[in-house]
Structure 1
Amino acid sequence: MQKTAGIAAGRAAAAVRAPRPFLIYFFGALGGILFGYETGIIAGALSYIYETPGFEQTAFTTGMIVGGISLGAVFGAVAAGRLSDRIGRRKVILILGVIFIVGSLVCAAVPNNGTLIAGRIFLGLGVGGSSALVPVYLSEMAPAKTRGRLAGLNQLMIVTGLLLGYCVNFLLADSGNWRLMLASGALPAILLVVGLPFLPESPRWLFAHGRRDEAAALLRATRSEAESKTDLTAMENVDRKPSKRELLAPWVRPAIIVGVGIPILCQATGLNMVTYYAPTIFESLSLPHENALIFTMILGTVKVISVIIGLQFIDRVGRKTLLVGGSACMAVSMAWMAFEASKSAEINPLSMLLAMSVMFVSYSLTWGPVNWVVLGEIFPLRIRGAAMGMASMVTWFATLAITFGFPLMRDGLGLAQTMVVFVVCNIIGFLFCLFFVRETKGKSLEEIEEDLVVPYEARTGSTVDRALVADEAGDSSGGSRAATVKGV
């Protein structure tokens, strides 16, 4: 019997021999590049699209072309979260890569606004899926002491993809070939599919599905012996029985509040308003289109550099401190932008560019990377995929509201007054993070889960048995109860 177990363990170890961690994290986060690229490429392509017969420009069509990807992302986030819990993170990443390839090529070939919007919605399935899955995958692959920086790599890839999209727009500006701009999104997707062999399955997903030996072998291959033992012990001490109703359990509620509030407030900072519409904002301020693209590339470069710097602070300063400070800085920079926009014809374009740059730096040092890191680590393991899907769904509903609503708000309120609305939203974000977000710096995912249980037990005087949560759905057979975080 022992010999058979030893052979099985050996086979498991051989099956999960992992490549260099750098390759795992790079290809794991490559979905972020696709996310950012599709965001950046449409920003510069819009003007050229409307010069093509069959593509009439209105505030509604602009909102739907830009925001259609967010609508598809709502469904992609939910589907990817649930599917990854069932068949594994790695297989879903492959599916997302195929969606990006097909979606990019379809968007490049459409004849009118309606079909372009439909193509963007389909492409959004991949964008939403990657936003739900990549942070979870990176969080589960990374050791606790570096999880913030490695999970934040997703944000670095997003802004890198954004900058690449801006650069491609500029390089193709003379030709105005917006179809080639949109088709180019297939290239990083092909790289993701080719790099799939470098991606092992998540060790926590393997463990949760009864493949303990493979999980242990993968942990040893991607971190030190001490770290692998610690993570394996922590996983063994957490109940794995899945529960659909656990999302509604009272002890999980603080995580759900943060998991819903953070995505909404992240979009309400106004950063995506600048990201998606920077070229058209500059054009509305009487800048030539080519100069607007140059200014946009400057903003993209600032964002990439800021995220690189910001990743160094996540595991040192802490998540909550960065979120609170970021909200304060963005409120100030957005007020500055509103002031410049209110000058109308007397606006100083360089001052507006500087205000936008401060906004990008503030976001990229704080909310940009921290948002995805927090969402990837605050939920209990056995509902993490579904909960992350829910959080990503909320993210994309909020993104859709901003991307679709901004052209309408700008036409109705004016640019300056629209920016004032975002100033107020950043103040609300400051207060929310101050009172609702808990610090997770340096904690293992299992310790974060325990931090949900202990305050609830202290407050209510009851003992959380998470196996019983599943039984509330109708299982009254009186079967055995799995151990909880505290071993009850």
Structure 2
Amino acid sequence: MTNSVSAAARAADQPTKGAGTPHPRSPRPAVIYFFGALGGILFGYETGVIAGALTFIQKTPGFPASAVTTGLIVGGIAGGAVFGALVAGRLADRFGRRPVIFVIGLIYIVGSLACAVAQNNTWLIAARIFLGLAVGGSSSLVPVYLSEMAPARTRGRLAGLNQLMIVTGLLLGYLTNLALSGSGDWRTMLATGAAPAVVLIAGLKLLPESPRWLILHGREEEARALLAGTRSAEEADRDIAAIREVTTHTPHRRELLAGWIRPAMIIGIGIPILTQYTGLNIVTYYAPTIFESLGLPHENALYFTIILGTVKVLSVMVGLQLIDRLGRRFLFLAGSAAMAVSMSLMAYEASRGDAMSPGAMLTAMSIMFVSYSLTWGPVNWVVLGEIFPLRVRGAAMGVAGMVTWLATLGITFGFPVMRDAWGLTNTMIFFIGGNILGLLFCKVFVHETRGRTLEEIEEDLRERYDRKQQGKSAQNENGSTS
């Protein structure tokens, strides 16, 4: 994979290096943000399309159904994403963001087509794991790229475009399921995942390299030209000065383990785990299955799923307007409380058995989707793209992405098994506990980053560590003199 990225780096770098001169013309910001976030559509589409395809796959000869097989088909993509997230971050730090995005697009195309021609469960699971390399890579790289491209004053809204693209892709996957549900053609459902990847690769020539990566690699004039296209000249000069300052710090070969970075790594590991522990993904991946298990016909279940997907898209659009107004920490706390309530309503309805109201369950799920999409959905990706220092941002985000997908794998594989062993009600109670834990974690560990540049966030991380060390030194001195 390293050789492929190296070749892609040479090809992708060609338009911006012209004989050592700066990039002649920066693309329009809207173009940069759209194509920068397009990987999110691919991520969401692959998540959504399998939800509706699963019933038809299990009815195909040669694809026997079981809780374990279902978990592996759905969760296989998360298994590949663990490795993809970790590797993509390191490669992006070395070769740049653009060439890695190019390779991710190629993997999406090949992986989608491999899923579509699978002849048995083993083949399909293997293809889903391969496809997961791209899903993991885009989940770790897209938030970093958008955060590095966006001005501080609007970074929350623009970096949150990743989540809007994810839920849009999710809805497109649900709509594809419904359009093909009459024929039950799950192979076409899975093959169509290649189409957005083709658009991504075609639009890559319009996508500039991250200016922060350029400065880190001694290409300041190119970075200045790109920054001038997305913010005022004053903001560009201020950002370049700040980036220069943080790049003067001497890197430690094991800097991810350095004490001053540890608070960011605690958040970068805790938030991805708790995001999965909200229970949102059991609704996202298994909504049609849940509705069918509660007695609804498959086509009605797909309609309900589309309603949920639409609610999610609209909620994220509203949520993006709140990130830079209300702040990240407030939205985390409010979201945890609201999701604990909505999951409690879902658990209550599930406990009623045959007396359960499909309308009430749909309402509870919609509240869950709205709560997540206004808060944790966009905010978790924004915060992960902000909190890590520049020199290790790609590698640290790779670790966060890896943890995200390990947690996703545990939830998506574990849910069918938990549901069979504990029942739907007790499984939902398990996720109520996750939301309560998420609220407590954010209250203790998460600091507000609204309206601050990435460099200010990094310097604050250093200063808090220095103050802590000074406090320890003073305490030791007082202890020794007493």
**8 Å contact 1:36–1:157 — kept in the other structure?**
yes
Displacement after TM superposition at 1:259 (Å):
0.4
Ranges in structure 1 where 5+ consecutive residues have no aligned partner: 1-7, 464-488
Whether 1:328 and 2:337 are equivalent positions in the alignment is: yes
Distance 1:462 1:248, change over 3 A: farther
Ranges in structure 2 where 5+ consecutive residues have no aligned partner: 1-15, 473-482
Instruction: Report what 2:231 is aligned to.
Output: 223
**8 Å contact 1:68–1:120 — kept in the other structure?**
yes
Instruction: Report what 2:220 is aligned to.
Output: 212
Query: Structure 1: how far apart are the matches of 2:21 and 2:379?
Result: 34
**8 Å contact 1:238–1:446 — kept in the other structure?**
yes
Instruction: Report what 2:269 is aligned to.
Output: 260
Query: Structure 1: how far apart are the matches of 2:17 and 2:350?
Result: 64
Equivalent of residue 142 in structure 1, options 144, 150, 159:
150
Query: Structure 1: how far apart are the matches of 2:169 and 2:411?
Result: 20
Amino acid at match of 1:419: M
Query: Structure 1: how far apart are the matches of 2:37 and 2:469?
Result: 40
**8 Å contact 1:12–1:213 — kept in the other structure?**
no
Instruction: Report what 1:275 is aligned to.
Output: 284
Task: Provide the TM-score with structure 2 as the length reference.
Answer: 0.93
Task: Provide the TM-score with structure 1 as the length reference.
Answer: 0.92
**8 Å contact 2:156–2:323 — kept in the other structure?**
yes
Query: Structure 2: how far apart are the matches of 1:75 and 1:278?
Result: 27
Whether 1:355 and 2:345 are equivalent positions in the alignment is: no
Distance 1:426 1:179, change over 3 A: same
**8 Å contact 1:263–1:391 — kept in the other structure?**
yes
Whether 1:299 and 2:308 are equivalent positions in the alignment is: yes
Equivalent of residue 191 in structure 2, options 183, 187, 193:
183
Equivalent of residue 169 in structure 1, options 159, 168, 177:
177
Instruction: Report what 2:354 is aligned to.
Output: 345
SS at match of 1:205: helix
Query: Structure 2: how far apart are the matches of 1:12 and 1:332?
Result: 57
Displacement after TM superposition at 1:361 (Å):
0.2
Instruction: Report what 1:393 is aligned to.
Output: 402
SS at match of 2:254: helix
Equivalent of residue 418 in structure 1, options 427, 435, 448:
427
Whether 1:404 and 2:404 are equivalent positions in the alignment is: no
Query: Structure 1: how far apart are the matches of 2:66 and 2:89?
Result: 35
Query: Structure 1: how far apart are the matches of 2:89 and 2:247?
Result: 20
Query: Structure 2: how far apart are the matches of 1:357 and 1:165?
Result: 18
Instruction: Report what 1:470 is aligned to.
Output: none
What is the RMSD of the two structures over their aligned residues, measured on CA atoms? 1.4
Instruction: Report what 1:112 is aligned to.
Output: 120
**8 Å contact 2:267–2:445 — kept in the other structure?**
yes
Whether 1:376 and 2:385 are equivalent positions in the alignment is: yes
Whether 1:288 and 2:297 are equivalent positions in the alignment is: yes
Instruction: Report what 1:478 is aligned to.
Output: none
Alignment of 1:41-80 (within 5 A): 41-80=49-88
Query: Structure 2: how far apart are the matches of 1:339 and 1:30?
Result: 38
Equivalent of residue 451 in structure 2, options 435, 442, 458:
442
Instruction: Report what 1:236 is aligned to.
Output: 244
Whether 1:194 and 2:202 are equivalent positions in the alignment is: yes
SS at match of 2:448: coil
Distance 1:16 1:414, change over 3 A: farther
Displacement after TM superposition at 1:15 (Å):
2.4
Query: Structure 1: how far apart are the matches of 2:151 and 2:176?
Result: 36
Instruction: Report what 1:474 is aligned to.
Output: none
SS at match of 1:173: coil
**8 Å contact 1:299–1:360 — kept in the other structure?**
yes
Aligned residue pairs: how many?
A: 456
Cα displacement string for residues 419-453 of structure 1 (whole angstroms, at most 9, x for unaligned residues): 00000010000000011000000000000001111
**8 Å contact 1:12–1:217 — kept in the other structure?**
no
Amino acid at match of 1:107: C
**8 Å contact 2:216–2:247 — kept in the other structure?**
no
Query: Structure 2: how far apart are the matches of 1:332 and 1:217?
Result: 49
**8 Å contact 2:49–2:177 — kept in the other structure?**
yes
Displacement after TM superposition at 1:191 (Å):
0.4
Amino acid at match of 1:258: I
Query: Structure 2: how far apart are the matches of 1:112 and 1:10?
Result: 49
Amino acid at match of 1:371: N
Displacement after TM superposition at 1:217 (Å):
1.5
SS at match of 1:443: coil
Displacement after TM superposition at 1:14 (Å):
4.6
**8 Å contact 2:89–2:395 — kept in the other structure?**
yes
**8 Å contact 2:48–2:170 — kept in the other structure?**
yes
Query: Structure 2: how far apart are the matches of 1:243 and 1:162?
Result: 40
**8 Å contact 1:16–1:200 — kept in the other structure?**
no
SS at match of 2:42: helix
**8 Å contact 1:148–1:311 — kept in the other structure?**
yes
Query: Structure 1: how far apart are the matches of 2:310 and 2:266?
Result: 33
Query: Structure 2: how far apart are the matches of 1:48 and 1:9?
Result: 49
Instruction: Report what 2:31 is aligned to.
Output: 23
Amino acid at match of 2:399: M
SS at match of 2:444: helix
SS at match of 2:62: coil
Displacement after TM superposition at 1:417 (Å):
0.3
